[in-house]
Chain A
């Protein structure tokens, strides 16, 4: 499937994998890492989403902190920043992330792009429901996934014409 990816789309998925295994030390590549990937892979994705990788990573730590609070555990947010875990080289995608990659391909076919770029990935990422980790993170940072979906499609139309 990755042969359909444009250079920036491929860079975004590679970056997502790195963010999951080496920065966040998570066991899977989820949609939140794909979101980090599209923002970190180049200026195009970062401009479109309108936040930096640092903003997203801080947002994830805040959500972790809120989640602990919800089950009655109080831990200083700073101690969530550096998990210091042994990293695994190859970690799998979550099923949500797989669906997102599939959805980006469907969007590319629907628009007639013939390739998958960061804009396709963003359009796919923002189409998740509120339970989706990437959508949750966007909402937490005060961004509107619906608005981002429109902007991603507009960017794709500009790229096509």
Chain B
């Protein structure tokens, strides 16, 4: 993200830690501007993260249920481990496994 990348002096390649030509007021204004921009993008990123995490969780669940079944776990044991009913796991995975 551009916003988070450090400023680098183009000729020397040395990272710029602070900009001395900036007045305190200008620096403060810039920092507020950056914060507002980051906050505006925050819900979009946060909500997107929820969707991605759900998708990841679904994938891990499918892999783990498959592996448990191959190791001889019953649907009941898997349901207990996941905190759902035996019927719920069975209905969800009997066709795909």
Report which A residues bind B (CB closer than 8 A): 25-26, 63-64, 66-68, 70-71, 73, 75, 79-80, 83-86, 130-131, 136
Contact = CB atoms under 8 A, between A and B. Distances in A.
B59 A84 contact: yes
B46 A67 contact: yes
Contacts of A64: 48, 52
A79 B49 contact: no
A83 B52 CA distance: 9
A131 B42 CA distance: 11
A71 B46 contact: yes
21 contacts: A25-B55, A66-B1, A66-B45, A67-B44, A67-B45, A67-B46, A67-B48, A67-B49, A68-B52, A68-B53, A70-B42, A70-B45, A70-B46, A71-B49, A73-B49, A83-B58, A85-B59, A85-B62, A86-B96, A130-B40, A136-B44
Contacts of B52: 64, 67-68, 80
A83 B55 contact: yes
Contacts of B8: none
Given A63-B48, A70-B45, A84-B59, 16 more contacts: A64-B52, A67-B45, A67-B49, A68-B49, A68-B52, A70-B42, A70-B46, A70-B49, A71-B45, A83-B56, A85-B59, A85-B62, A86-B96, A130-B40, A131-B44, A136-B44
Interface of B is mostly: helix
Interface of B: 1, 40, 42, 44-46, 48-49, 51-53, 55-56, 58-59, 62-63, 96
Nearest to B44: A131
Contacts of B42: 70
Contacts of A84: 59, 62-63
